[in-house]
Amino acid sequence: MTGERKCPECEVIIKGRKDKKYCSDHCRSHANYIVKRVGDEYIVNMIDTVLKNNRKILLQLNIAGKKMVKKELLLEKGFNFKHYTTIVHLPAGGLCFYCYDIGYSFINYTDVILVKGKH
């Protein structure tokens, strides 16, 4: 082994300082871009999975189109209240949170009303 170091991006022999990782700024920048892009895609996919799960739970519980359920039931089924796609301000006050086309609104701390349809 000659001790030559190769750029992890383009495999060109690296010349210069011993702690240098890439052969050029272009290769360093491209490597960092790929790491960030893959990281962002992972986060987006993870959130999308949570949103789809939330929507599935709402659909299972709300077959009729409008139904009142306990917040505890949603939590037991794995519903995540931190993720939603849209918030709508209701005319009577309050908020309706949507997971795509299925919404829910808090009546009080323990009761939630589920609604189907566009906002």
Query: What are the structure tokens assigned to 56, written together?
Result: 């599935």
What is the block-wise mean pLDDT of the chain (119 residues), using blocks of 10 residues? Answer: 78 87 91 80 89 95 91 95 94 92 93 85
Taking the C-alpha atoms of residue 59 and residue 66, their distance in angstroms, rounded to an integer, is 10
The amino acid occupying position 55 is: R
- What is the model's pLDDT at position 118? 67
Q: What is the pLDDT of residue 1?
A: 45
- Identify whether the C-beta of residue 8 lies closer than 8 Å to the C-beta of residue 24: no
Q: pTM of the prediction?
A: 0.68
> Could you tell me if 112 and 106 are in contact, meaning their C-beta atoms sit under 8 angstroms apart?
yes
